[in-house]
């Protein structure tokens, strides 16, 4: 429900990151987002059919505060010459990495 969703977002340590270049790698994302704290994992968004990166990913932190700092200081800055944007995500579940690019 809406409430559950809000609750998840308030506690979340996961960010959705959009407007990535298709060529940007997990390593690059790791490096930039590690500058606000310890990153637990990066899940690359993949094209449903071709299984190649398609411009988004999820970044999960160990602690909330580090994710908050990423929203403050990484959101709307450049990675691979593109302005990336971050949004809170309720948490990654298997299957959500597939998109349309």
Token pair 């977002």 in the structure block, residue: 9
To other proteins, the closest distance from the beta carbon of 18 in angstroms equals: 18
- The DSSP bridge partners found for residue 44 are 57
Question: Which residues inside 18-57 make contact with other proteins, applying CB under 8 A?
Answer: 25-28, 30-32, 35-36, 38, 41-44
Residue 5 or 99: the one with the smaller Cβ distance to other proteins is: 99
Residue 5 or 22: the one with the smaller Cβ distance to other proteins is: 22
Residues near other proteins, by CB under 8 A? 25-28, 30-32, 35-36, 38, 41-44, 69, 72-74, 77-81
């Amino acid at each position: 429900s809406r409430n559950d969703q809000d609750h998840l977002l308030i506690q979340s340590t996961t960010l959705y990151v959009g407007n990535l270049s298709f060529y940007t790698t997990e390593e690059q994302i790791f490096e930039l987002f590690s500058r606000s704290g310890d990153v637990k994992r990066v899940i690359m968004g993949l094209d449903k059919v071709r299984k190649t990166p398609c411009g988004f990913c999820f970044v999960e932190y160990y602690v909330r505060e580090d994710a908050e700092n990423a929203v403050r200081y990484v959101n709307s800055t450049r990675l691979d010459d593109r302005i990336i944007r971050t949004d809170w995500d309720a948490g990654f579940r298997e299957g959500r990495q597939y998109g349309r690019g």
